[in-house]
Structure 1
């Protein structure tokens, strides 16, 4: 397939000939360009716990490929919204990834115990993203909250 013309949805004559397509079919098959998955790489090791920031765009692409494309937090980056055949919504985007394009220091991106960069908020795609820390106890019993039996005293009601 002709890479230049694949982006615009048609093929060049040489590609049509090599695929055995009818020369009168000028449009040819519509090609969809899919960026290949980048391989996992070893970054320059650094002290565990230190903040991580990609030194250039290529390193950033590899980091995104290794972490963001595998994370349940960003359904656009990991391809979920496209496999579901729907448009993205605000809930589909990872706030951390978005912030990485606006800010210099991302507290969630650090060097892990192995000296390699990682995202501390990474959630594997097979897992559900929780809205709160699963290790923090609820402040109120879920049954009391649902039944409305919790009474929030106003400022005048305290003795």
Structure 2
């Protein structure tokens, strides 16, 4: 199912949970009784899902249910360069940068501000140069075709953009 299953979002979530449970990423392995898969099974799953991630286009990634989680799963599975290379190649163009950032925003809900979007340095820096992306978006705010989206993204870099 990890190699071909249609529910890539769910599979990614499951893969990340097991990666952490086994202590392969992070420093808090859980007891084996909490694992869904043995170490050998997780080795095989890792091989399958990383192959699947590597075969995905940037468009496939950003159309997935949670692109940021998928990129982190890819990285946490042991391939730090693959997701970064994919994102960097896609964001060479201004349109690609805006599209990628639109899909990598995080939604925050707070009692004082309600729901809003943010672009967090901790989320983006493993996949792109954060300051470079922020500067490029600021430069696009007056762009005729991308200006409105760039203004919204610029606000998400700074303080978050409300719904």
Work out whether the TM-score is over 0.5. no
Q: Give the TM-score normalised by structure 2.
A: 0.23
Q: Relative contact order, CA 8 A, sep 6+: which one is greater?
A: 1
Q: Give the TM-score normalised by structure 1.
A: 0.23
- Structure whose CA Rg is larger: 1
